[in-house]
Amino acid sequence: TKVNWYPPKIPNRFNQCTIKVRMVQWPPFVINVPNGSWSGPPRSSRGIEISLLDLVAEFANVRMFYHHDQVPDNWGNVYGNGTITGNLKYLYQEIDDIAIGAYAISMKRCLVFDAVSYHKHEKLIFYVPFQTLNSKLTSLGEIMGFGALVLTLFLYLVVTTMSWLVSRHDYTHYQKFDTCAFETYQILLGLSVSLQPRSTKVRFFIAMLIIYSFYVVTAYQTLLTSTLANASTKQEISTIEDILD
């Protein structure tokens, strides 16, 4: 904005020189611009290309005259045999200075016209990563379920207490609460214990715990494996705001 790059070619003063712009009404590039209107302060509601030309006009001190043909959508084209049609023909004959309305650059057009690519709007593609996260692995309680955790704790305490209470004829190991609790804890984890109980009453409660822990450990390991194997992904970019952010 501070540097005048080509002073002989582009002087600072154009004195509101008129530039004739032939447009094709084609949103979002040109939106409802009245035939025969002039450039004004840039407003986004008139389309991308009109906004840019309004800006250029303001900058270079020229004024754009926007008009369109009676034939709607009269873009025109350049053919291999040299034929030029539509609005491009007016441009070629220098009746107009600029043609706008979502023109694409092609090789044949480039041989005849200068194309200014301001924005590769329709070819600009965002490739964005998917964020991988194991959202299910946030806590143990979420894998097992809070109820199962409480039930396990409750059963463990009940079995430990009951085994301890009825262990009068068993090993002293089971007669003391702390070693009994240690033993039942090992059983709960599915580990082997050094001293199996010998009295029927204690065996009953220990058997209960063995059966329960077998199911819980199996279920827990299954859930854990499936949770680890199932990486849940979330699309990181899904709105225009996300892209701009």
DSSP three-state, residue 72? coil
Cβ 41 to ligand NAG shortest distance, Å: 22
Contact, 174 vs 180, CB < 8 A? Answer: yes
Cβ 54 to ligand NAG shortest distance, Å: 19
In the complex with ligand NAG, the residue whose CB is nearer, 25 or 186, is 25
In the complex with ligand NAG, the residue whose CB is nearer, 36 or 147, is 36
- Which phi and psi (to 5°) does residue 125 adopt? -120, 135
DSSP label of 32: S
Cβ 96 to ligand NAG shortest distance, Å: 11
Site for ligand NAG contains 36 (CB under 6 A): yes
In the complex with ligand NAG, the residue whose CB is nearer, 77 or 175, is 77
In the complex with ligand NAG, the residue whose CB is nearer, 21 or 202, is 21
Number of residues that bind ligand NAG (CB under 6 A): 8
Contact, 61 vs 14, CB < 8 A? Answer: yes
DSSP three-state, residue 28? coil
Site for ligand NAG contains 1 (CB under 6 A): no
Scanning the chain, the segments in alpha helix (DSSP H) are 48-60, 86-92, 107-112, 140-144, 146-165, 172-175, 177-188, 200-229, 240-244
Q: Sign of the CA dihedral 151, 152, 158, 159? A: positive
> From residue 48 to residue 87, what is the string marking binding to ligand NAG with x (rule CB under 6 A)?
-------------------xx-x--------x-x-x----
Kindly list the residues in this chain that would bind ligand NAG in the complex (CB under 6 A): 35-36, 67-68, 70, 79, 81, 83
